[in-house]
Amino acid sequence: MLQRLDFSQNSFVDAIPNELGTLSQLELLMLSENKFSGNIPAALGNLSHLTELQMGGNSFSGEIPSELGFLTSLQIAMNLSNNNLSGSIPPQLGNLIMLEFLLLNNNHLSGEIPSTFQNLSSLLGCNFSYNNLTGPIPSIPLFQNMAISSFIGNKGLCGGPLGDCSGTSSPNSVPSSSQGVDAPRGKIITAVAAAVGGISLILIVVIIYFMRRPVEVAASLQDKEISSPVSDIYFPPKEGFTLEDLLEATNNFHDSYVVGRGAVGTVYRALMHSGQTIAVKKLASNREGNNVENSFQAEILTLGKIRHRNIVKLYGFCYHQGSNLLLYEYMARGSLGELLHGSSGSLEWPTRFTIALGAAQGLSYLHHDCKPRIIHRDIKSNNILLDDNFEAHVGDFGLAKVIDMPQSKSVSAVAGSYGYIAPEYAYTMKVTEKCDIYSYGVVLLELLTGRTPVQPLDQGGDLVTWARNYVRDHSLTSGIFDSRVNIKDESTINHMITVLKIALMCTSMSPYDRPSMREVVLMLIESEEQEGNFISSPVYDLPLKDNAS
């Protein structure tokens, strides 16, 4: 069953066949940077499982098929830039409510930007520059706050960052550019959208930073490691694993041993001869350049140096037949997201609080005590893993970033998952530890309410908005909490309300209003010791009136 199809950065020519639309299970279609021509097949609208469509940098012509509006699972990006497309933008694209990045720049599109785009509530960035678009830019908050470079090169376009539509000349009247954007922020938006794809990336400067340090990966794995003659495989000798053992334990990575799948790769459960169970993360094959390789190096170089009870333990790594394998401590209870939102049953409040505190302690270690300090960049309930005792372990460091390096503040890849991304990141594209704190606050809200981070549009669209609206309309009451939790007494309610206050602090719209993770840990500990009485230090005003409206 084909799920990923990547023909990008080749020299393929001519039209693409309509038969592509029959690949019903396809999730990623990558056709960028080729010499494809002809029309975009309307049959692509049948790919109901597609999450990313990359077709930029070709010679496609004709109109954008309205059938692409049927791709309602599209989330990561739709990139049709740098082609020869003409006609109007189909209003049906406004149905793609999960879409985060839309690139239509450097074509010959005409007409107005559809008003239906106000439905694109998940949109983080887009580019319409260098077309023949006319009329006012829709009054969408994201459009009004975007850089002018996302709209320039359309002589008839006005409004938003281009100025009012009074008929006076605007900065929009500029010569065409073969690259589509010549302003710095325009380059950032284009680079970000081209880089998205679910594959975890890390800036090469982070790799160089670690490589220059006199710390070998072997040293970061504690003991002197050995190499198997079968492949480049490295483990501490006391574990005694070999590649052949892994292949046998997973039946050559058969699907029946899969315990999880993600954008970066697949996780397998492996029972070794010693009786120990480990998790093997097999990273997906290279899609664009060295993206997967960067993710692999990022996770090794980060995890290999970390030893903390609330951080998932890395046993070893190896390269096998072009694939990168990471070997972790196996977490028998799976992820917090699976337990909260799956059918495995509910968690009582003491267990939920223990998980919340453990995850906070792990994240606090990364931010304050780890050398160098680390921003995780993808905190979510699915990346908080639980052992037999429901002890929380923060995992998946494929997006991890070093705090202490000045170069690490601006990124070229989308950091985080929809519903967990801090609001300032969509506009600044800069990562700080406050982004992690916001994401952690969303996890706290999940633990408290039992709701998923993405909510129906008529309820706010995301969990943070829903929670703030509920508190604004109903005050701080127990009605907001997960009905599956057996709340036995008033002290439990008070404790949960206190943790709710902490969650609201962490998800403040302004990063300056969020506490540090060290302060979050202290507040959680004191909330338990004081049986729900809210602590007085540090003091943060609850952001309910100004930011909840």
Q: So which residues are the catalytic ones?
A: 378
Close Cβ partners of 20 (under 8 Å, ≥ 6 residues apart): 5, 26, 29, 41, 43, 44, 47
Helix (H, G, I), strand (E, B) or coil at 314: strand
**CA atoms within 13 A of residue 199's CA, in its CB half-sphere:** 28
Asked if 453 and 378 count as a contact pair (C-beta separation under 8 A), the reply is no
Round to whole Å and give the CA distance between 394 and 366. Answer: 10
Q: Residue 213: exposed, middle, or buried by beta-carbon count in 10 A (0-12, 13-18, 19+)?
A: exposed
Q: Residue 322: exposed, middle, or buried by beta-carbon count in 10 A (0-12, 13-18, 19+)?
A: exposed
Residue 440 DSSP label: H
Round to whole Å and give the CA distance between 81 and 89. Answer: 13
**CA atoms within 13 A of residue 48's CA, in its CB half-sphere:** 1
Cis peptide before 91 (omega within 30 of 0): no
Sheet holding 314-320, edge to edge: 226-227, 233-235, 314-320, 323-329, 277-283, 265-271, 258-261
Place of tokens 């107005």: 112
